[in-house]
Structure 1
């Protein structure tokens, strides 16, 4: 079970970096990272890409050889050569063999394209999800959830087709180039006639590529906006229903649909225009080649079979429709890769290699220290030069007004977010130097809105304990009792073996399960980010007492608690009063209570600020 951290202090304000930044103006700057990404994604499947190119090329070569073979066969039949028909039979067999090669190559091409696309897409999705987990929840917050879902699904699928599209496009070039060479072999004048119209074909393909790139980019951006709004609406479905906001939210969610439709229609118009232009140009080139071939035939400079072959080669040389399709797929893939590259460009948090020290130089194990910490959220400064020491084994409550930076401080304390400046030390060692796995074992988190992950409730609670660890089940049950969760878990249809999706749980019960998961770990530090807000007063009192005796359940010894209730702060050893992103005071709750400004945080007294 993992948890969704609550937004820190000022994080609820619209972030300037949240909107995707993949507009057309960013195109040239994004191409190099996108191309590198596609190369890296295709490299593990190089042999499949080469095999796809080989089969596609084989099909193209067979298609190029077939007109010549048919022309030769026709000439033999018309000339009546080889009375027994042996030579004509051999050429007919050759035509049949070439047809069989073409069919087999097309079948292999289909299989290889499907497997290459699926494996490349899977690799891109794995890399993207892994990177999002590595950058942490705060850095990945620059993209809204719907946008990330779109990038990980549809965009990754389009980008996954790029290696195959490159191989197919290169192989597709063999056909027109080979057909042009074949025309030159038949007669240079035939090739010259066709070459006269080639510049127009090149300009047509170039214009199509440039225009469709811009259109596909805008389509994918609008698609991401629509997905983001839909996810927001689904998340707040109860609020929408309770507030009678269905029609308004429906209009807001579907507002990008008109732009999406416009971009989609524009894509079809661009492709249709290119196809229509080709439909006019290509027949003219074919008629010109056939006309010149007819003149050569009338002069005896070209045979009937040669004319048939020339007509077929003119069709193959002008196969712009195939190239338009390949280019369209390649444009979609590269444009989608640019959107993936934007996510991968967000730097991951550096991973250290040191183990957590056994002893602390400044007190008992679990001593947490923040030195001159400055941190931002969504580009806005939140914490300013925070100095805070949490003694090993102590409980420190963090209180402050909304927007003071309490949740960001909690995230920085356990390295769910990195500070812009300063250090966070655990037993004298900078968290940035610790091995990530060791850090996650040493520092546990419980949040206001935890999320259950795992096949069953028991497995969700044991998510922070290595599989196969002796006493794993007993530790989970002890932690559940400490979090006042054991009682209601036992009443579930299958107890701890109940599938998470089938567990009818209230918000308070889910919050207690989040606490149980955190307590089940063998960590030195437990960070509670408003993790008891949904509990009633009696249950909160019982849980707080259990937290004070967390060593008895195998839980963390040092506790950093983001508190909104005076009773929670009163039960802590020390209270850190966070005001405007700075520590205003650090003292026991009873001493701070004498100040009206402090009392006003909990709804009492008057603010003296």
Structure 2
């Protein structure tokens, strides 16, 4: 837990000025509570003796009580504000790291787990500073109570110290236990969130299949485990509370018993005994730290889960610009996931289709081409420069990606197409519109209420329209290499034909790597990479490969041939331009 404790400490420093307000109000409130028994004791003695200073002491009591109340109010305010600021810093830092790691993060942590950690767990860590500061200030009245009892009577102080030792042992054991249980509880929360995110992503499929009850049961599979850990947490709190609750009254009785004996012997006054009773309550108030310790335990457990995210290495970029070149892609000895020993050279400006059965590694090869993932072994180069040596800017300008189900990010449609191109300028606007025209998106975008300035939430789009925006985004970025991962699957035949003509025409000078599921797409490409079992089985033209029954079977098994008709051959492939997908 050392890394988790360090993260909690760093979070303390980022609570902003509210942390100092909280510390001040907590310390001031503790000092006022420490002063209250003394003031009350003097007031009692003054009233008993009918002293003329009684009104002064009564006024002092009222002032101390008002100050304590004011410290409580400002402390609560500062606690909430400081916790919110610390949580904001932590979330931004972790979100930046998660996005810097890239797709590798979601391979280890599902989306629901990431949401839970960046949401609930980050908030629990953000509350850690408040627990530490407020809990630490409990030491002030405790220490002050001990010192005051030493001044009143050392025997009372020794009695209090013996009881505080027992309370300290209870709190230490409780912190260790609650940290462990809280970690298990948070893990169960993440499991439920992961299942829920998966269910929401497939909501239409679930509704169509009528399996809502079954899916609800699947999502809530971890609920009994969550309940179990919640009950363990409650029992741990109860056990610690009972132990502290047993020690505190016994401690008070012991101190008062000793104090009574000292009073009977004439070594204490009535006011001193009353003050001693109040100081015992303050000193034993350390037992009230259970709530703070519980929150600190949850914060430590949550910090441990956040540290796991922070330990994922970010993608490191080099500083090299991309030299002049046609966009030649080269893979040498590449091994990653299911892919093993991949050696390929994709000539610059060519159109190459990637085909293979499900699980052959097509999308992984596409991800390697633009460094969405790094290989476990081997090297991927673009125009002779290994991708890790390129700067982030150079790689972003050179490679454009389009996916089957693009996620549109930004405030407006223009933002979604120009994402990553920089601040809006006239040149950027020209690039965005040209890319949209090539992707056949310009016409429907112009029909939107505000055209390219239409907010995304006010621009409902079909699956094909979203794919066209995704294609436009790729065209705007990929100056040398376009990677299309089944990126035209939702387009109608006419639109796909128009996009294919753009790929072969105005975009024809760029290298195109296309994950293909259709015979027509493979036939239109210059060459085809045939993946089988994670290896390159063949790399040749579609016409040559079509003679192999195994190659033809790839398209038959994929289900893209027309039902009830014989398999398509190259003569039936539509004459789409190079780069169709």
Per the normalisation by structure 2, the TM-score is 0.91
Tell me which residue corresponds to 2:331. Answer: 370
Q: d(CA) in 2 for partners of 1:37 and 1:278?
A: 29
> Judging changes above 3 Å, is the alpha-carbon distance between structure 1 residues 120 and 550 closer, same or farther for their aligned structure 2 residues?
farther
Tell me which residue corresponds to 2:260. Answer: 294
Any conservation in 2 of the 1:464–1:520 contact (CA below 8 Å)? no
Any conservation in 2 of the 1:397–1:560 contact (CA below 8 Å)? yes
Tell me which residue corresponds to 2:540. Answer: 587
Any conservation in 2 of the 1:519–1:550 contact (CA below 8 Å)? no
**Shift of residue 89 of structure 1?**
4.3
**Shift of residue 590 of structure 1?**
1.6
Tell me which residue corresponds to 2:469. Answer: 513
Any conservation in 2 of the 1:369–1:425 contact (CA below 8 Å)? yes
Any conservation in 1 of the 2:379–2:386 contact (CA below 8 Å)? yes
Tell me which residue corresponds to 1:203. Answer: 169
Q: 1:445 aligns with which of 391, 396, 401?
A: 401
Q: d(CA) in 2 for partners of 1:88 and 1:599?
A: 104
| Matched pairs, number | 559
Q: d(CA) in 1 for partners of 2:481 and 2:441?
A: 21
Q: 1:561 aligns with which of 500, 514, 534?
A: 514
Any conservation in 1 of the 2:156–2:258 contact (CA below 8 Å)? yes
Tell me which residue corresponds to 1:244. Answer: 210
Question: Which deviates more from structure 2 when the two are superposed, residues 490-499 or residues 305-314?
Answer: 490-499
Give the gaps of 5 or more residues in structure 1. 1-30, 377-381
Any conservation in 2 of the 1:596–1:605 contact (CA below 8 Å)? no
Tell me which residue corresponds to 1:184. Answer: 150
Question: C-alpha offsets along residues 249-272 of structure 1, whole Å, 9 cap, x if unaligned?
Answer: 111112222222232233223212
Question: C-alpha offsets along residues 234-291 of structure 1, whole Å, 9 cap, x if unaligned?
Answer: 1111111111111111111122222222322332232123223333321221122222
Any conservation in 2 of the 1:53–1:170 contact (CA below 8 Å)? no
> Judging changes above 3 Å, is the alpha-carbon distance between structure 1 residues 196 and 517 closer, same or farther for their aligned structure 2 residues?
closer
Tell me which residue corresponds to 1:490. Answer: 446
Any conservation in 1 of the 2:167–2:286 contact (CA below 8 Å)? yes
Q: 1:75 aligns with which of 45, 67, 70?
A: 45
Q: d(CA) in 2 for partners of 1:70 and 1:514?
A: 74
1:472 matched to 2:438: no
Tell me which residue corresponds to 1:399. Answer: 355
Q: d(CA) in 1 for partners of 2:129 and 2:506?
A: 54
Any conservation in 1 of the 2:139–2:286 contact (CA below 8 Å)? no
Runs of 4+ in 1 over 6 A off after TM superposition: none
**Shift of residue 410 of structure 1?**
0.6
Question: Which deviates more from structure 2 when the two are superposed, residues 40-49 or residues 570-579?
Answer: 40-49
Q: d(CA) in 1 for partners of 2:394 and 2:55?
A: 76
1:39 matched to 2:9: yes
Any conservation in 2 of the 1:394–1:557 contact (CA below 8 Å)? yes
Q: 1:62 aligns with which of 29, 32, 36?
A: 32
Any conservation in 1 of the 2:17–2:82 contact (CA below 8 Å)? no
Q: How does 1:127-526 map to 2 (within 5 A)?
A: 127-357=93-323, 359-360=324-325, 365-376=326-337, 382-521=338-477, 523-526=479-482
Q: d(CA) in 1 for partners of 2:87 and 2:394?
A: 32
Q: d(CA) in 1 for partners of 2:450 and 2:568?
A: 49
Q: How does 1:594-609 map to 2 (within 5 A)?
A: 594-603=547-556, 604=567
Question: Which deviates more from structure 2 when the two are superposed, residues 260-269 or residues 429-438?
Answer: 260-269
**Shift of residue 211 of structure 1?**
2.2
> Judging changes above 3 Å, is the alpha-carbon distance between structure 1 residues 468 and 455 closer, same or farther for their aligned structure 2 residues?
closer
Secondary structure of 1:446's counterpart equals: strand
Q: d(CA) in 2 for partners of 1:35 and 1:276?
A: 28
Tell me which residue corresponds to 2:563. Answer: none
CA RMSD of superposed structures (Å): 2.1
**Shift of residue 58 of structure 1?**
1.9
Q: d(CA) in 2 for partners of 1:523 and 1:100?
A: 70
Tell me which residue corresponds to 2:562. Answer: none
Any conservation in 1 of the 2:138–2:286 contact (CA below 8 Å)? no
